[in-house]
Each structure stands twice: as C-alpha cells, then as structure tokens.
Structure 1
Amino acid sequence: MAHPMRRRTRGLLCGALALAISAVLPGMAIAGAARVASINMCTDQLLIALADPAQIVGLGPYARDPHLSWSAKQARDFPRLSGEAEDLLMLAPDLVLAGRYGKAATRELLRSNGIPIEEFDVPRNIDDVKAQIRRVGELVGHPERADAINDRIDRSVTRTRAVASRWRDRILPVSRRGWVAGSDGLLSSLLEVAGLSNAASEIGLVYGGFASLETIVASRPDLLLLAEDKPFAEDQGTALLLHPAIQHAYPQGRRLVFPDQLSMCGGPMLPAALDQLADSIERIHRDKDASVTRPHP
C-alpha cells in the first residue's frame, strides 16, 4: 500500500496536470471535432466538402450566395450564422473555422469563452489550397476525403497543362469598377498552370487594384478575363465593362469568362476551375484558327 504522503503528492500532481490541460485546450483546435461551425465563406466550402453533415452546426452569412460561393446550393441544408460571436456562443461548437483577416473582436470573444478557433489565410497558390484542405480534413476527422479532393486537383492540373500550355497568352483579369486581380494570388496560380500569365504586373498591380478605362484599353493583353459577360449593366459597377472602348478593344473572341466563385476561394471547386480554364482557352483558340482558315465570301 502506498504511503499516504505519496498518494497525496500524486493527487496534487494529477490535479495540477488536469488544471494545466484545461487551461490549454480551449485555445486548441480539436481533431475530429463532432460539432463544427464556420464564419468565413472559404472555410464554409471546405467544411461542406470534408465534414459529415451532422458535424456542421452552422455556416457563415455568405455561404448561400451563388455569386460568391461554389457550394451555395449545398449550404442551404445548414443553419446560417451571422458571423458574430453571439449565435456561436449559444451553439457552443467544438470548433470554429475562421478567416485570419475577419473580425478580430469576434474571434477573441470566442476564445475568451473557451471555444477553439482555427484560422486560415487567403491561399496564394494551389499548394496553399491543398494544405488547407488537408488541415480541415484532419480537423473534422476525414483525412481520406481531403486526399481524394487533392488527388482530383492534381489530375486537373496535369490535364490543364497538357491541354492549354501550348499557348502563352497574357491575360488581364478585370471585374467590377475596373478592379484587376493582382499577379500575386490564386487566380494567377491557376493561369500559370495553363501556361498563361497575368498582365496585372505589367500595369503595376502586383497585389491587385483599380485600373482606369484608359489603362485597361492601353494594356492590350491577348485576352480579357471577366467574371461574367452580360450585354447589359446591372449597376454602375458593371457599366465600365460595357464601355464602347473596351467593347472595341476586346471583342467576344478576346474575352475569357471565368466566374468569381471558381477562384475566390481555394477548395473543392479547383478541379472544376482548372477544367473550365483549359476548355475555355482551347475553345477560344479553336475559334480563332477557324476564323483564319475560313474562306471569305
């Protein structure tokens, strides 16, 4: 039988260890968490793709927006969160996925109430995306699903390089109000896979920014990349792209339509994004070749 003093000492040590663990665990992400919430549109999509439906207790406020989220339709099956701390405190999930550049006060309030948070940066390239997919797969206890998505991304990368890398087009990605996606970002990484280059750096927009109508017209890339190509302007933000100078400089054959939701976040949409990019580039050049060889009346 152990001496009473030894038993007391062991009890004190165990109690101290338990106290230390309880102090650390609230700030740690729990692998295989049973109840997970997301308050970021990009982590929403990762969670939908990798977790069991029963694990998802709620998604961020933009999860159901089809203009922004590739997984908007699937997101309708889950509760919509405000993105603030209050509803998450009521739900008390095992883990919250968040963007590193979201509202810091919300994340700090959750941590102070013992709710673990895992933060994710904006992915800059395909390797970043694959690393985030692996991380979320581990957190929700389904690494095999992450491996399957990353395998599909690798196959799409191989196909895109084989199909589209024969061309070396310079592409300028332009969206609302003349915003140009910078050359240091995920979209540029996707273009590089296809052997293409983002002309944003040529006009001094490595990290993105607004370009004037004159700059867009004068830059003369091979192709203009647009999120959509409608014949009418829904608002002032899209009116710039319908200006006669842009219409003249970049007719239909010099426009590549690539929806924002394919490149805004890294995740399960990347195989579809790469496949669409390869198909679109191939179609544009096929049509161009056909117009050159077609006999004139």
Structure 2
Amino acid sequence: MIRLLALSLAAALLTSAAPVRPPRIVSINPCIDAVLVRVADPAQIAGISHYSQDPRATSIPLGIANRFHATSGTAEEVVALRPDMVLTGPHTEPATVAALKRLHITLVQYKVPESVAESITQVRDIAAAVRHPERSAALAARIAAAATPSRATPVSALIWQSGGLVPGSGTLPDELLRRGGFRNMSAAYGLKKWDVLPLEYLIAKPPRVLLSTAAAETGEDRVTSHPAVRRLAQHIAVAPYPIRLMNCGGPTIIDAMARLRQVRSGFAA
C-alpha cells in the first residue's frame, strides 16, 4: 500500500512538472496577425487571415505572411486547422463563434484599440495568450518609441478616406496625428468620432495637409481632382497615406508614425 502511494505521488509530481504545450493558434484578424507573428513560435501558428497576404492590406512583410496558411475565417476552414485557440477582432461570424463553442475551442476577441496605450496593452495580452509574455517587451518598447510626441508646432491636417470618411477625436489615427506634429481639423468641422465630411466644408476651410488614402492607392483621388481643390493648391498639400495604416494598432503604429513624421518634415518646425 505504501509503495502504491509512493508511485502515485511520483507520477503526480512528474505530471505537474511536465511542460505545458503552447497552444496551437489560428488568427482570423490581420491586425492580430501582425502581433502574433512577432510573439508566437511559428510552429504555434496554424493559420492567419488572408488579408495579411494582400499587399494592399497587410501589416506584415509579405515574405513572412506567405510562410503561413491563410484562411478567410469561415467556421469550416478554422475548425479544419484543429486550433486550441482562435484570436480575432470584435466582429466574428456567428456561425464561426457557434462552431468554436460547440467544439470547446477557446475564442479570444480583441477590440480595435483607440490609443497607443491600448495598443501596447493588447500586444501584452496577445503575448500572454500564446504563453510567451516575455516577448511583448521589445515590441511594446518599439511602439512607444515610435509614438514619442513631436515638439514641433502642430500643422493643421485631415485624414481623408473614401467617401469623405474622417477619423476624429477619440480614435487612434487622431492620437497619431497629434504625436506626429499635426492638429486634426476634424473638430473644427464639428465632426464626430468617425464622420463624413462634405467636400464643400473642406473647400471652405481647408487644412494645411490632406492625408489621402485614395491618393496612396491610385496616385490621385476625387478630392484632389476637383477644380475648386486644385485652386487651393497653394494653400493645401496632399500627401498619400496608405489605408493599411488606418486599420490597426500594434506594430502598424511604427509604420504610421514613420509616414506622419516624413510628411511633417516637409514643413517648417
């Protein structure tokens, strides 16, 4: 009896001392992909979002993104990869959520960060979820360094997206503008957090810099081709701003701040 107890105790100790296998992860959100590839072991990553393999949308170097299997995020695709955990953003297909719950696969959803601080917290949370919390420190430090506020006098600016959609106060792009040495003109037009600015308002009260996502895609956009805006050319500078810099926090902040500082350097301090 004593020998059996001793063997049972030894087995329990060996079991408790055995290393825990890191979870097998599928990410179906490109913003999370960008963090995941920096904090997880490659062997842990069973799948990433197909957007991360799109040159226009990815926040990951394509050479790295193409090493991983990509999915469109359907329940069938995700389940077939046999993950322990699925990481995604705030909006996920109900069918996918239901399938994961039915199969007892952990689903972790992250909201879109609205500040640099929230982005850094999210990096740390993702690193902890994949059981490599120590790997978040270097990336968090790079993001914080890239987002160091400019001391230059702010230049009025506006980020203009397709259809006139403009980010306002309380958004991550608004904070990055301020940190990059700009003053977001959204508030001057009385716009909400995310709002549409009519072209007439822009013409009546133009910013010094218009950061255009359409110009980044095609080299021009509807705004800059408008005759009235062309007449304002001596008062307004149009700078291409890739749409991929609008959608994510995390390491995308590093690239967004580099672009904003590049544009700001074209103006007197």
The normalised TM-score by structure 1 is 0.76
How much has 1:251 moved relative to structure 2? 5.4
Structure 2 residue aligned with 1:65? 54
Q: For 1:104-253, list aligned pairs within 5 A.
A: 104-158=94-148, 161=149, 164-227=150-213, 229=215, 238-250=221-233
The change in CA–CA distance for 1:53 and 1:251 in structure 2 (over 3 A counts) is farther
How much has 1:206 moved relative to structure 2? 2.0
SS at match of 1:89: helix
How much has 1:268 moved relative to structure 2? 1.5
Conserved? CA contact 2:216–2:240, under 8 Å: no
Give the counterpart of 1:35 among 11, 16, 24. 24
The change in CA–CA distance for 1:244 and 1:230 in structure 2 (over 3 A counts) is farther
How much has 1:254 moved relative to structure 2? 1.8
Structure 1 residue aligned with 2:74? 84
The change in CA–CA distance for 1:67 and 1:125 in structure 2 (over 3 A counts) is same
Bigger drift between 127-136 and 169-178 goes to 169-178
1:232-274 CA-to-partner distances (Å, cap 9, x unmatched) read 678xxx4344222223324596223332222310111222322
CA distance in 2, matches of 1:172, 1:78: 36
The change in CA–CA distance for 1:244 and 1:145 in structure 2 (over 3 A counts) is farther
SS at match of 2:249: coil
1:48-73 CA-to-partner distances (Å, cap 9, x unmatched) read 22212111111123121222222150
Structure 2 residue aligned with 1:24? none
How much has 1:135 moved relative to structure 2? 0.7
Amino acid at match of 1:100: P
CA distance in 2, matches of 1:242, 1:251: 15
Conserved? CA contact 1:224–1:256, under 8 Å: yes
Name the Cα RMSD after superposition. 2.5
Conserved? CA contact 2:208–2:236, under 8 Å: no
SS at match of 1:267: coil
The percentage of counterpart residues that share the same residue type is 31
CA distance in 2, matches of 1:245, 1:41: 38
How much has 1:138 moved relative to structure 2? 0.9
SS at match of 1:111: helix
The normalised TM-score by structure 2 is 0.83
Structure 2 residue aligned with 1:272? 255
Q: For 1:13-28, list aligned pairs within 5 A.
A: none
How much has 1:210 moved relative to structure 2? 2.2
Unaligned runs of 5+ in 1: 3-30, 287-297
Larger Rg: 1
How much has 1:91 moved relative to structure 2? 1.5
Structure 1 residue aligned with 2:15? none
How much has 1:90 moved relative to structure 2? 1.6
CA distance in 2, matches of 1:32, 1:46: 20
The change in CA–CA distance for 1:232 and 1:122 in structure 2 (over 3 A counts) is closer
